[in-house]
Amino acid sequence: MRQAPILVLLSCLLSVLSLPAQNQPGSYEQAFLDHAFRPAPRSINPLILLPPYDPFPSERTLSARHYPASNENRLDLFLPYIQEIGGGYVGVGTDQNLLLMGRARSEFGYLIDFDPAAVGINRIHLFFLRIAPDAAAFRDYWKYSARKSSWQLLKKEFAGQDDFASVQLGWDIAQASWRPVENRLKEQARLARDYGLRGYFNDPADYAHLRSMVAAGRIQALPGDLNGSKSLRSVARAAGHIGRPIRILYLSNAEDYFPFYSAEFRQNAIHLPADEQSLVLRTCSIQTMGLSHPQGESNRQKPFHYNIEPLIHLQRTLAAPGTFRVTDLLRVRRDLKAGLSLRTFAGSARAENRAGVETRQSN
């Protein structure tokens, strides 16, 4: 498996640290890992999480009521650092997760959100991945012109199931007059042209990998709250059970809404099994910090800054006493290019500078 330059850097930074040994999978778990993506029944698939999940909150206090599609246009900035990183994936939001998991060649993934519409859209994404042989067919299912026939397929698949209400809500929002999912798929094509974005929507290998994960029951969309006490703890137990680390924790800009890191979030992050390659991917749109921003953001008045951090580093930060939030964390960072930074262990400026040089040479 090829490592991107930043992963080589992080491996060197962390090699001097004493890391806890990962649980070694036993014969049963190893048989599951070696089953070449053959579907495993729910009853014997150790990665399938069952209720209870975190409940959907009555109030989410976000800038918009729902986020059916991503508005982070420069996710391409993350992609060189997660190429074929493997391992487990945990992420919030919707289509961002497909882009990141496919490029990372994640082995299993959990798409969590505290918005029932986002959970419903994720479940529809996974269903369309299962039945659409390629990205063009996947896009066709989301088209407004195909809404009646696509809805008949969804009703046949989900009617009578516990998750039908969230699927119906997600579909209704996705097919509203502004057609957020269909237009996001069109936007991805423009981003590919302007910024070289590659992913499941234009790379057959990425799309095929996601389909194989879905066929094997290795992606699950479920209710989850970063500040909850159930869903992420279940993710940690499942990953620990098969002895595989979470290699990507994608937070989007959820931390913007935290007045401070809660005890629940700290414990959720700390309990995720991690190794020296595990990364946190986040965006930040708080404008009071002097952060740089890339070109091409969808909201020029509130653009995103993109940040990478070793998961182990975040875990150790969150284990320390004190009250702080994401603005405090990002005051100490290494800018890699406009709109992208690295936050990592102190005392490594020389190595981080070398990584910045390597990064520019690789792009």
Q: Hey, what are 184's tokens?
A: 């996001």
CB-based contact 239:277 (threshold 8 Å):
no
* Tokens 């798409």 -> residue: 111
pLDDT in tens, the chain (363 residues): 444 444 434 443 333 233 333 333 344 344 334 433 344 455 568 899 999 999 887 765 655 566 789 999 999 999 999 999 999 999 999 999 999 999 999 999 999 998 989 999 999 999 999 999 999 999 999 999 999 999 999 999 999 988 899 999 999 999 988 899 999 999 999 999 999 999 999 999 999 999 999 999 999 999 999 999 999 999 999 999 999 999 999 999 999 999 999 999 999 999 999 999 999 999 999 876 789 999 999 887 789 999 999 999 999 999 999 999 999 999 999 999 999 999 998 644 443 443 443 433 333
Cα(88)–Cα(244) distance, rounded to whole angstroms? 7
Helical spans, DSSP H, in the chain: 5-14, 27-33, 79-82, 95-104, 116-131, 135-142, 147-158, 164-174, 180-195, 204-215, 231-241, 263-271, 311-319, 326-329, 349-362
- Specify which residues 113 forms β-bridges with: 223
Q: How far is CA 173 from CA 96, 251, 354, in A?
A: 18, 23, 46
Beta-carbon contacts of residue 265 (< 8 Å; ≥ 6 apart): 226, 227, 258, 318
Give the pLDDT score at 61: 66
Cα(337)–Cα(344) distance, rounded to whole angstroms? 16
* Tokens 């969150």 -> residue: 318
The helix (run of H) or strand (run of E) holding residue 111 is strand 108-113
Nearest to 79 by CA among 276, 306, 253, 295: 306
| Torsion on CA atoms 59, 62, 68, 74, rounded to nearest 10 | -160
Cα(350)–Cα(331) distance, rounded to whole angstroms? 18
The three-class DSSP label of residue 47 is coil
Cα(82)–Cα(119) distance, rounded to whole angstroms? 24
Give the pLDDT score at 58: 74
Cα(92)–Cα(194) distance, rounded to whole angstroms? 26
Cα(280)–Cα(112) distance, rounded to whole angstroms? 15
Cα(246)–Cα(91) distance, rounded to whole angstroms? 11
Give the pLDDT score at 56: 84
Cα(12)–Cα(6) distance, rounded to whole angstroms? 10
Give the pLDDT score at 245: 97
Q: Sign of dihedral through CA atoms 37, 38, 39, 43? A: negative
Cα(281)–Cα(75) distance, rounded to whole angstroms? 10
Give the pLDDT score at 286: 87
